[in-house]
Structure 1
Amino acid sequence: MDIVLVAGLWLDGSAWDDVLPELEELGHRGIAVTLPGQGDDAVAATYEDQVGAVLAAVDAADGAPLVVGHSAASTLAWVAADRRPDAVTGVVLVGGFPSTGETTYADFFEPTGDAVPFPGWEPFAGPDSDDMSPELKAEVAARTVPVPVGVTKGVVHWIDERRHGVPLTLVCPEFTPDQAREWIESGDVPELADATALELVDLDSGHWPMFTQPAALAALIDEATKR
């Protein structure tokens, strides 16, 4: 099966380099998307440009692909279900949740000029990054790309209620399924509260399992293709 992979803020398609061969061994073709503004020098890119890139990858896939979104890009993966509910096999969210409709995509950090640079590891101290060695942190930080403000401040619009029936898997890395369930039941994540085919799965890792647990992450993605 074709699997469209979308990494979160500051990362390009190479973030999935260790996951791709694991998926191939499991019989899948991984399609790692480099988003506009996150690796292609498109400093004026917008949120809608990134939406367009994900939808283009879905449209170009062989058959109905599974779409995987990491961190903030969980919203972009869920957009695929919203805009192409009949054309995707399912969606996997890794350590992230879709934004609530009519809110900004990822306005979490202060910009520097027209872009939001990687803020360093201090904001992610603790469970997010405890499984990363200093060497790995340095390597990942060196590969990060500032994200255009036009992306982070873009407004999310949900269109098609049929997205709620698309098979959805939430991979819980630095938090547990029980914690995620509490957030969903409390109303903090309305998009997941309305999902009718949601499965929560645990992964013993930090926030970036594509770097620290690529085989385990690939195995969970493979399981999601069977739903």
Structure 2
Amino acid sequence: MTTTTNSPDIILIAGHWLGAWAWDEVLEHLESDHSHAVAVTLPGLDGDDPERAAKTLEDQAAAVLDTFARLGVTEDRPATIVAHSGANAPVSLVLDRHPELVHRVVWVDSGPLATGSVFAPDLPEEVDEFPLPSFEVLAQQASLEGLSAEALERFRARAVPQPGSVLRQPVGLMNEARRQVRTTMVCCSIPGAQVLELAHAGHAMFAEVANIGNLDVVDLPTGHWPMWSRPRDLAKVIQTASSRVE
């Protein structure tokens, strides 16, 4: 039976090139629903940090756990963590190390990683950072559907190059309990039915989805950045997911 409980803290983490600013519109809607939500800029994605290019996945996972500590997250008061796109790497580490601190994980056009996953294994060691590519190139890798010219302009102006070390580092996972964390997958650029089909077929990008013990799938058709194309609807999905218990 599904019920609701006092809403836990919601921690929002955006993908590559993005900081906390990417969630501004979603936060406005969450706050109007009286949800307590905060957005995090991962180490390496703060444009004012002169040492950002040297940051690692370990630094990013530690920053999420620091946010837990700052908010008073405990096993008795776990948080909902929302991970968009490439934030799945540090969030997969957090789930592996402290699943007891997570009430629910919400993957936004993203999903859990398998141990040993590397985003860019062929990225040369001498590449310190990976800037946002042209939108023509980006559109070949991820859907830009629903993004206005204004949103694209803001994306280009505020994007911070991704640290090369983050993209080359394998994700090491050992704790099977991570797979039992309540999970909601928000499927935007690929329909949920197709994601599940690929997962059960053993597709490398989606195979770990088949191992999740408690999974909800929500379709939110749009491009890969729903925080800009459908912020109100995404906020509603997040708030609903966060308030659920099984």
TM-score class, shorter: over 0.9
Is 1:168 the counterpart of 2:183 in the alignment? yes
> Which deviates more, 5-14 or 23-32?
23-32
Tell whether the 8 Å contact from 2:85 to 2:110 is kept in structure 1 after alignment.
Answer: yes
How do residues 117-132 of structure 1 correspond to structure 2 at under 5 angstroms?
Answer: 117-125=131-139, 128-132=143-147
Quote how far apart the aligned CAs of 1:108 are. 7.7
CA distance in 2, matches of 1:110, 1:162: 31
Runs of 4+ residues deviating >4 angstroms: 108-112
2:115 aligned residue: 101
Gaps of 5+ in 1: none
Identity %: 36
1:140 aligned residue: 155
1:15 aligned residue: 22
Pick closer, same or farther for the CA change 1:190–1:60 going to 2, 3 Å: farther
Quote how far apart the aligned CAs of 1:122 are. 1.6
CA distance in 2, matches of 1:83, 1:58: 13
1:78 aligned residue: 92
Is 1:196 the counterpart of 2:213 in the alignment? yes
Tell whether the 8 Å contact from 1:3 to 1:29 is kept in structure 2 after alignment.
Answer: yes
CA distance in 2, matches of 1:159, 1:58: 21
1:206 aligned residue: 223
Gaps of 5+ in 2: 1-7
After superposition, the C-alpha distances for 1:152-201 in whole angstroms (9 at most, x for unaligned) are: 11110112111111100000011101111111111122321110101110
Tell whether the 8 Å contact from 1:68 to 1:92 is kept in structure 2 after alignment.
Answer: yes
Quote how far apart the aligned CAs of 1:84 are. 1.3
Pick closer, same or farther for the CA change 1:204–1:145 going to 2, 3 Å: same
After superposition, the C-alpha distances for 1:33-89 in whole angstroms (9 at most, x for unaligned) are: 111110152221011111111122123324311000000112323333221111110
Tell whether the 8 Å contact from 1:48 to 1:154 is kept in structure 2 after alignment.
Answer: no
SS of the aligned residue for 2:184 comes to strand
Tell whether the 8 Å contact from 2:198 to 2:207 is kept in structure 1 after alignment.
Answer: no
Quote how far apart the aligned CAs of 1:109 are. 8.6
Query: Aligned-residue CA RMSD in angstroms?
Result: 1.9
Larger-Rg structure? 2
SS of the aligned residue for 1:178 comes to helix
SS of the aligned residue for 2:174 comes to coil
Pick closer, same or farther for the CA change 1:168–1:211 going to 2, 3 Å: same
Pick closer, same or farther for the CA change 1:71–1:109 going to 2, 3 Å: farther
Tell whether the 8 Å contact from 2:115 to 2:174 is kept in structure 1 after alignment.
Answer: no
2:199 aligned residue: 184
1:52 aligned residue: 62
> Which deviates more, 6-15 or 39-48?
39-48
How do residues 148-159 of structure 1 correspond to structure 2 at under 5 angstroms?
Answer: 148-159=163-174
Pick closer, same or farther for the CA change 1:6–1:109 going to 2, 3 Å: farther
Counterpart AA for 1:48: E
CA distance in 1, matches of 2:171, 2:121: 15
Which residue, 7, 11, 29 being the options, matches 1:4?
11
